């Protein structure tokens, strides 16, 4: 049995495996610029975040109907369950769909149909987090939040993703203020390719409760001390960092130093169809590359539930944490 864990940094569009992409392309009459799944996989050689994002957005063309989003989420949940995921907080990128004429309702209702049966089918509790694309305007983010208002009973929080450098968190101050007024939880990608200063800004200007990635905080000892003191969770994605060349190789990932610094780090998969592994694969890879002890791996799983948005269901959090404590490797 795999170690029980929560996954807190997972873009549902990043779980689109080549086989499903081709099946949906056929069903929807969409032509992909690749002849075979092998040819498509060949394109998964990225030089940085932008080179990945170009392919990630292009492939979304196959997602058109609510059933497509349901199939996408079902496929993820099944794989996640097999790797010990007991709770998943799932990002989606509404602007990448509404810009192509696919409505907010199609996306949210399609995903929700899979999430509604996730507990029964896969033993996974779920939350949905809607992300704003930071390389789009603040006005577009505000319009997106407005479009989401009929679906807020399904949406736990907001996040910020896409091309980071040149798009500082402060650009989205207003939309995060509105999200807070609506009672939404707030997270943001920061310090992946962007500087440590973006991590500080996400905390101070956007009021986020968790930082997605946050790796580059390690360049700023004062910030590290603050993140540790305030117990701010960081959702690390080690295999993603290697594939997007944020780090040279997994053996040089700072995760161990981050644990030693008392940071509340978690391990996640980001876009597993593109980066060579789901969340259990990320755990196994860092354990091996960084020679982590069983107890350190247990700490990572404990952190994942501590950092989860389960405040409305503390008995569930306690159950999950008890599973982690009694797990035998
Ligand atoms: N969108 C999907 N994956 C992402 C990542 N790793 N960073 C920023 N935006 C993303
Ligand atoms: Zn991400």
pTM above 0.85, yes or no: yes
Give the number of the atom of ligand 1 that is nearest the alpha carbon of residue 192: 7
The number of domains in the chain is 1
252 part of a folded domain: yes
Residue 319, in any domain of the structure: no
- In-domain check, residue 213: yes
At residue 31, the pLDDT reads: 96
| Catalytic hit among 192, 193, 201, 306 | 192
Query: Is 328 within a domain?
Result: no
Q: Is the CB of 185 under 6 A from ligand 1?
A: no
Query: Residue 92's beta-bridge partner residues?
Result: 130
Q: What pLDDT is recorded for position 226?
A: 98
The CB of 86 under 6 Å from ligand 1? The reply is no
**Ligand 1: which of 48, 49, 91 to mutate, most ligand atoms within 8 Å of CB?**
49
Domain annotation covers residue 22:
yes
Give the pLDDT confidence score for residue 82 in this predicted structure: 98
Q: What is the CATH number of the domain that holds 287?
A: 3.20.20.140
Three-state DSSP at 109 gives: helix
Give the full edge-to-edge strand order of the sheet including 125-133.
5-11, 85-92, 125-133, 157-161, 185-190, 210-213, 233-236, 264-267
In this prediction, residue 92 carries a pLDDT of 99
Residue whose Cα lies nearest atom 1 of ligand 1: it is: 162
Q: Is 329 a domain residue?
A: no
Give the range of the structural domain holding residue 289, as residue numbers without chain letter: 5-311
pLDDT in tens, 52-84: 999 999 999 999 999 999 999 999 999 999 999
Residue nearest to atom 10 of ligand 1 (CA): 162
The 3 state secondary structure assigned to 238-280 is HHHHHHCCCCCCHHHCCHHHHHHCCCEEEECCECHHHHCCCHH
Give pLDDT, residue 296.
98
pLDDT of 239 reads 98
Give residues with Cβ within 8 angstroms of 9, minimum separation 6.
89, 91, 212, 213, 235, 236, 237, 266, 268, 269, 270
Whole-number pLDDT of residue 44 = 95
Other beta carbons less than 10 A from residue 313's beta carbon:
14
Query: Which regions of the chain are under pLDDT 70?
Result: none
138 inside domain: yes
What pLDDT score was predicted for residue 81?
Answer: 98
Residue 218 confidence (pLDDT): 98
Q: How far apart are the C-alpha atoms of 133 and 45, rounded to whole Å?
A: 23
- For residue 307, give every residue at least 6 positions away whose Cβ sits within 8 Å of its Cβ, in sequence order, or none: 6, 8, 210, 233, 235, 264, 266
Rounded Cα gap, residues 140 and 167, in angstroms: 14
Ligand 1 pocket check for 270: Cβ under 6 Å: yes
> Phi/psi of residue 150, each to 5°?
-65, -15
Q: Ligand 2 mean position to 134 CA, how many Å?
A: 12
Q: What is the pLDDT of residue 78?
A: 98
Would residue 216 count as lying in a domain?
Answer: yes
Token pair, residue 230, equals 């305030």
DSSP 8-state assignment for residue 63: -
């Amino acid at each position: 049995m795999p170690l029980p864990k929560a996954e807190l940094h997972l873009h549902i569009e990043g779980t689109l495996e080549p086989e499903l992409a081709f099946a949906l392309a056929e069903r929807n009459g969409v032509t992909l610029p690749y002849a075979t799944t092998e040819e498509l996989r060949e394109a998964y050689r990225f030089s940085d975040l932008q080179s990945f994002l170009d392919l990630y957005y292009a492939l979304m063309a196959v997602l058109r109907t609510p059933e497509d989003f349901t199939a996408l989420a079902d496929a993820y949940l099944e794989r996640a369950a097999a790797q010990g995921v007991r709770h998943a907080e799932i990002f989606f990128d509404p602007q990448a769909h509404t810009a192509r004429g696919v409505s907010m309702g199609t996306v949210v209702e399609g995903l929700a149909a899979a999430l509604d049966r996730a507990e029964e089918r896969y033993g996974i509790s779920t939350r949905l987090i809607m992300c704003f694309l930071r390389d789009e305007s603040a006005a577009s983010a505000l319009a997106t939040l407005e479009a989401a208002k009929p679906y807020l009973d399904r949406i736990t929080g907001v996040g910020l993703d896409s091309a980071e450098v040149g798009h500082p968190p402060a650009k989205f101050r207003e939309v995060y203020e509105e999200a807070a007024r609506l009672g939404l939880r707030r997270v943001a990608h920061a310090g992946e390719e962007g500087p440590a200063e973006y991590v500080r800004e996400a905390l101070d200007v956007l009021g986020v409760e968790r930082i997605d990635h946050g790796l580059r905080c390690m360049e700023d000892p004062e910030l590290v001390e603050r993140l540790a003191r305030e117990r701010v969770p960081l959702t690390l994605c080690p295999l993603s960092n290697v594939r997007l060349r944020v780090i040279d190789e997994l053996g040089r990932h700072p995760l161990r130093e981050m644990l030693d610094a008392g940071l509340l780090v978690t391990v996640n998969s980001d876009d597993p169809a593109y980066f060579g592994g789901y969340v259990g694969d990320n755990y196994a890879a860092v354990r091996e590359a960084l020679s982590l002890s069983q107890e350190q791996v247990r700490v990572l799983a404990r952190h994942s539930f501590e950092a989860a948005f389960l405040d409305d269901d503390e008995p569930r959090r306690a159950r999950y944490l008890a599973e982690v404590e009694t797990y035998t490797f």
